[in-house]
Structure 1
Amino acid sequence: MQTHHWLLLAGGLIILLLGAYALILWRRVWRQQAERVNALNARNDRLGGDIRIIAQSLLDKQVPMIEGAIRLKVLLDNYQGPRNAALDVTILEFIYDQTAHIPTHQGWKDLSRAERKLHLRLMETLERDHRDEVEAAARALSNGPG
């Protein structure tokens, strides 16, 4: 065999090996994409279940209306699965926006009695004025967001 035949054979072998390596890398990419999709689906299933539980808890008055509305809004913000097109959750966003400035946990404890009373009055007003709307949204979500 002449030198150019050896070079052609070596070049063909290199191309074959690089093609095999590229296939291995693409299979790894495809597997990672499938794992990512599975993880996202599992996350959405978990969030959908959490949404149903909080919505039902709000309806059963096991969770305060303001807290339930805020929790539902945050869960829906993180949920990326299918949604019912007729689902209207603007009231949850409204409640969230109206109460976003209220401190929680230690911040609440650090407030003076007068400041706490002021925030409690706001929450009572929101609850009184928007309970029906929040409960309607919770009823729609009690079967899940999809």
Structure 2
Amino acid sequence: MPRGLQLVFIAIALVVIGVLLFYIWRQSRILSEHRLRQRKTEEFQARRRQEMVESIRLVAMAVEAKQVEYSEACLRLKGLLEHVEPELLEDPKYRVFQQVHDKISHMPTHRARLNTDSETLRKLDEERFAVEEEHADEIREAAALIRHHPFN
């Protein structure tokens, strides 16, 4: 094989090697950036979950100390548990949060309450207080249990 042809093949091989090295380097960077984003996402989700667990415990303590209305506590606990461990809402010990939520979820809250006439609000509040009274013991027991629940 002529010497010139050998040099051409060597040059082509070096160009191919260079292109492959560039491709490998680029893929490596993309992979490391993906891993970094994934790790940050997992850390964020873990931190968010821990904050929700702390919120569950705080609401449960507020129930035990009678610092919050039971209906509001059930709404909050149901929402938090849906994100943290939704299967607990099916557990008989904690099902009361779902039951109370279902009974009062049609009632207006926040701004919607401001736009509702006082007579309707009075009737809805009576209904809400009746639900709270009906489930008060269950709510207190469930709050005490959920406060000490070992969230995984």
Tell me the TM-score normalised to structure 2 length. Answer: 0.84
Runs of 4+ that moved beyond 4 A: none
Determine whether 1:5 maps to 2:10. Answer: yes
**Alignment of 1:63 onto 2:68:** yes
Aligned counterpart, 1:34: 39
Higher normalized contact order (CA 8 Å, seq sep 6+, divided by chain length): 1
Matched-pair contact (CA < 8 Å) for 1:48–1:145: no
Aligned length: 144
Extract unaligned runs of 5+ from structure 2.
Answer: 1-5
123, 130, 134: which one aligns with 1:129: 134
Matches of 1:9 and 1:119 in 2, distance apart? 80
Q: Decide whether the 8 Å contact of 1:49 with 1:144 is kept in 2.
A: no
* Mapped contact 1:73–1:96 kept (Cα < 8 A): yes
> More deviation in 26-35 or 133-142?
133-142
Q: Say if 2:142 is the partner of 1:142.
A: no
Q: Which amino acid aligns with 2:48?
A: R
Counting only pairs closer than 5 Å after superposition, residues 44-83 of structure 1 correspond to structure 2 as 44-79=49-84
Name the counterpart of 1:107.
Answer: 112
Question: What TM-score does the superposition give when structure 1 sets the normalisation length?
Answer: 0.88
1:80 and 1:35, CA in 2 relative to 1: closer, same or farther beyond 3 A? farther
Give the corresponding residue for 2:3: none
Rounded Cα–Cα distance in structure 2 between residues aligned with 1:14 and 1:121: 76
Q: 1:118: which partner in 2? A: 123
Return the offset for 1:80: 6.0
1:96 paired residue number: 101
* Offset at residue 35 of structure 1 (A): 0.6
Partner SS, residue 61 of structure 1 = coil
Q: Unaligned regions of 5+ residues in structure 1, if any?
A: none
Q: CA deviation at 1:145?
A: 5.7
3-state SS, counterpart of residue 92 of structure 1 = helix
CA displacement, residues 98-140 of structure 1 (integer Å, 9 cap, x when unaligned): 1111111232233233212221121122112111211122111
Give the residue type in structure 1 aligned to 2:117: S
Alpha-carbon contact 1:69-1:92 (below 8 Å) kept: yes
Secondary structure of the residue that 2:107 maps to in structure 1?
Answer: coil
Q: Which has the higher helix share?
A: 2
